[in-house]
Chain A
């Protein structure tokens, strides 16, 4: 079995948002939404800080679909449009999506975005990888773990573009893969573990 995933080194993340924009470009994500976003933790403004001067800290949390092993979104989808593929990724079959947004309510990570109307792009044309299917109004979308790239043996765009090399892509089922080793050695953890969704995206601090 293959269980593709990403591990993110929060110690290396500088909150530059390159991953968010690289993802948007690669996947033709319309205006007004992102598949991959970077949060400034415990702040109400971006690049804010926690604590009282001079004891300040600032941490960034890049957040996209967690490709959960026990995915709440997949369980509730009435048509099976959301599915777990043979490489362990959570994918959406846009032709099957009826736009009920049950998955959106079920996702604990707010990872999904919906095409509320016909997608608008400020460029006026579809950008991104030509292999990525164009979505229309009324369907759900989210991080595919760059399905088109990873199918061809390439890394996801966010992993490739991260300037501080904070992201590791690989197979969790291979104990010797770079990602498995990093999670093991640095004590990798997952978000909202208590929800029991078993995310495959891991976080660690090197």
Chain B
């Protein structure tokens, strides 16, 4: 118990430091981040995509259990929905943190542009959060008939969970300006990577809850979920393979973008995803003998989660690297450094590195997420 209290304390302090840093960012503007006119989205949007994925994956498993009557998966539905709720709140926080003019955010409600994927995303995330909360309410309700309502909610939850990540993909996949984003397979890839990273995160959370003695999961169920994870990894790898082949084959513009991924500045992220995020975990989990070993399953799950994070990095950043219209001196950076020095206002290619306020804020949001997950689990999970 005291251990939990220490954890609460540490996570709380980290969160407070993050809030202070966010206030610093609000005062100074987004200029305190590494973003600039050549690379206008960074770590926050990477984390946003990542958290939407983690969230959708958990809920897809939980609601499939009810929709398709997979009785054994129903046992983990409650922690899965708690995880999903926490993750979607974190995703929403990242979007808000990334806004340059948060004081005018109400404009989306008073005068929305229905053609904007970002507007769709705000609608679907709100909808998704409400469904999560309703789901949690009925799942923990003691009233008679609550279980039937869980079944009804799950029928809405599944399509919305798939949509929430598809819409996130469309923020990028519908942009004709960016060679690496504009692709019909972007939404399926996002759903597939949500399934594998979300499931992997669920396995990690279940193992942590088991370790803490809060929630018991049978080894058989744990191994069965690990088997499902192997399938999801394979589907994700297949979609990425399709995309990469389509980019490479004509040897034209797509191949140039691909060359940036495989040997350019985002290559470490690309290869980590392919080797450590897809190949190694799949090779581990494809053998049923390995799926019995909790340690190996957790190792593979952690690799999958890290791999998908790296994937978000290369997906977002590669497309910023080469402007469509190149030529010296390139793009004006518009950053604080560019304004103060007078020199170095130009860049030929997209350039970005996260700064300390960005990193501190991201760590703090994760700390707050873990904290919220711990609190919700201790309140909502049935006492043993």
Interface residues of A (CB under 8 A from B): 30-34, 37, 39-48, 61, 63, 72, 75-81, 95-102, 104-110, 112-120, 122, 137-139, 191-192, 195-197
Please choose the segment from B79-87, B337-345, B356-364 that sits at the chain A interface, where 4 or more of its residues have CB less than 8 A away.
B337-345
B32 an interface residue at 8 Å Cβ cutoff?
Answer: yes
| Complex interface: chain A residues within 8 A of B118 (CB) | 76, 78, 100, 102
Chain A: minimal CB distance from B189 (Å): 18
Distance to closest chain B CB from A46 (angstroms): 5
A104-B41 Cα distance, complex, nearest whole Å: 9
| B33 to A, closest residue via Cβ | A116
B339–A31 CB distance below 8 A: yes
| Interchain CA distance A132-B283 in the complex, whole Å | 62
Interface residues of B, Cβ cutoff 8 Å to A: 28-33, 35-38, 40-41, 95, 98-102, 104-105, 107-108, 111-113, 115-119, 122, 171-172, 174-178, 323-336, 338-340, 342, 345, 348
Q: Which residues of B contact A41 (CB under 8 A)?
A: 327
Cβ-Cβ contact count across A and B, 8 Å cutoff: 188
User: Cβ of A34: which chain B residues have Cβ within 8 Å of it?
Assistant: 332
Taking a contact as CB atoms closer than 8 A, the residue among B29, B113, B177, B329 that contacts A105 in the complex is B177
Asked if residues A96 and B98 are in contact (CB atoms below 8 Å), the reply is no
CA distance A130 to B331 in the complex (A): 27
Across the two chains, which residue of chain A brings its CB closest to B30? A116
Kindly identify which residue among A32, A42, A99, A108 contacts B324, using a CB–CB cutoff of 8 Å.
Answer: A108
Q: A33-B345, A80-B113, A110-B38 are in contact. Are A99 and B99 (CB under 8 A)?
A: yes
**16 extra A-B contacts, CB within 8 A, seeds A44-B348, A78-B118, A106-B177:** A32-B334, A33-B333, A33-B338, A40-B327, A72-B176, A80-B111, A95-B104, A96-B111, A97-B104, A98-B104, A99-B30, A100-B98, A100-B100, A118-B29, A138-B100, A195-B176
A residues less than 8 Å from B113 (CB atoms): 77-80
Contacts of A138 in B (CB 8 A): 29-30, 99-102
With contacts A32-B345, A39-B327 known, is A78 near B335, CB below 8 A?
A: no
The CA-CA distance from A81 to B101 in the complex, in Å, is 12
For A139, give the chain B residue with the smallest CB separation: B101
Contact between chains at B332 and A76 (CB < 8 Å): no
> B9 to chain A: closest CB distance in Å?
34
Please list 16 pairs of residues, one from A and one from B, whose beta carbons are closer than 8 Å in the complex, sorted by A's number. Answer: A41-B327, A42-B327, A44-B348, A76-B115, A78-B116, A79-B108, A79-B112, A80-B113, A96-B104, A97-B104, A101-B100, A102-B118, A107-B177, A109-B324, A117-B28, A192-B324
Question: How far is B174's CA from A34's CA once the two chains are assembled, in angstroms?
Answer: 27
A63 and chain B: residue at smallest CB distance: B325
Residue of B nearest to A73 (CB): B177
A115→B31 CA distance, assembly (Å):
8
Residues of B within 8 A of A80 (CB): 111-113
- Decide: A115 and B29 in contact? CB cutoff 8 A: yes
Are A114 and B329 in contact, with the CB atoms below 8 A? Answer: no
Query: Separation in Å of the B205 CB from the closest CB of chain A?
Result: 31
> A137: which B residues are within 8 A, CB to CB?
29-31, 100
B177 touching A32 by the CB < 8 A rule?
no
Q: Which chain A residues border B35 with CB–CB below 8 Å?
A: 116
Specify which chain B residues have a CB less than 8 angstroms from the CB of A61 in the assembled complex. Answer: 325, 327
Q: Which A residue's beta carbon lies closest to that of B31?
A: A117
Pairwise interchain contact B101-A99, C-beta atoms closer than 8 A: yes
* B335 / chain A contacts, CB cutoff of 8 Å: 32, 116
**Nearest Cβ on chain B to A161's Cβ, whole angstroms:** 19
Residue of A nearest to B337 (CB): A32
- Knowing A98-B104, A100-B98 are in contact, say whether A76-B175 is a contact too (CB < 8 A): yes
Q: How far is the CA of A15 from the CA of B93 in the complex (A)?
A: 45
Contacts of B176 in A (CB 8 A): 72, 108, 195-197
Q: B325 near A113 (CB under 8 angstroms)?
A: no
Closest residue of chain B to A104 (Cβ to Cβ) is: B40
Chain A residues lying within 8 Å of B323, measured Cβ to Cβ, are 110
Q: Which 9 A-B pairs have the closest CB atoms?
A: A99-B100, A117-B31, A39-B327, A138-B100, A32-B338, A117-B29, A108-B177, A116-B31, A138-B101
Task: Write out the residue numbers on chain A whose beta carbons fall within 8 Å of the beta carbon of B95.
Answer: 100
> CB-CB < 8 A to B36: which residues of A?
116
A79, B325: Cα distance in complex, Å: 28
